[in-house]
Amino acid sequence: MESHPQSVSVNMQPYGWNRAGSPATAFGPTVTPVVQPQPAPSPPDFVLWSFFNAMYCNYFCLGFIALVFSIKSRDRKMAHDPETARSYGKTAKHLNIAAVCLGTVLTIILTVVLLVIYSNSLRLVGSV
């Protein structure tokens, strides 16, 4: 996070003589802190996750569609439209979750099917 220097105003009282004839002391500086508002956090766009899903978990093109929504979200963020960027980012997140879940389940099913076919082929070769 960026830290910005705070603005400080100094109010010095004039140095002079008081009524008793002795030098008057000046009051210390008056410090007025200026609180700068924190910028609103930018909405996440999930581009890296979408790119990973587009490359490795792209069943039914969910990873590619998530990548499209992630890029739309990043474009809206650069155009200073956080609400639309948040909406596109949310859609990209849901598509990424669906792509990962579907990719994991289908990979496990495919592995089990291939193992069953391979073991059956070994049994057939061994029985001949």
Alpha carbon distance 3, 35 (integer Å): 12
pLDDT of residue 39: 79
Secondary structure of residue 17 in the 3-state scheme = strand
Closest CA to 74 of 42, 104, 26: 42
What are the per-10-residue average pLDDT scores of the chain (128 residues)?
60 56 58 79 93 92 96 95 96 97 95 95 79
pLDDT of residue 31: 66
- Cα–Cα–Cα angle for 48, 51, 57, nearest 5°? 120
CB 77 within 8 A of CB 85: yes
Evaluate whether residue 60 is within a structural domain.
Answer: yes
Evaluate whether residue 6 is within a structural domain.
Answer: no
Query: Which pTM value belongs to this model?
Result: 0.65
pLDDT of residue 38: 81
Which residues span the domain enclosing 89? Answer: 47-127
Evaluate whether residue 34 is within a structural domain.
Answer: no
pLDDT of residue 126: 74
Helix axes of 62-78 and 82-127: crossing angle, nearest 10 degrees = 160
Evaluate whether residue 121 is within a structural domain.
Answer: yes
Evaluate whether residue 59 is within a structural domain.
Answer: yes
Evaluate whether residue 1 is within a structural domain.
Answer: no
Alpha helices, DSSP H, located in the chain: 47-56, 62-78, 82-127
Evaluate whether residue 26 is within a structural domain.
Answer: no
Per the structure, the count of domains in the chain is: 1
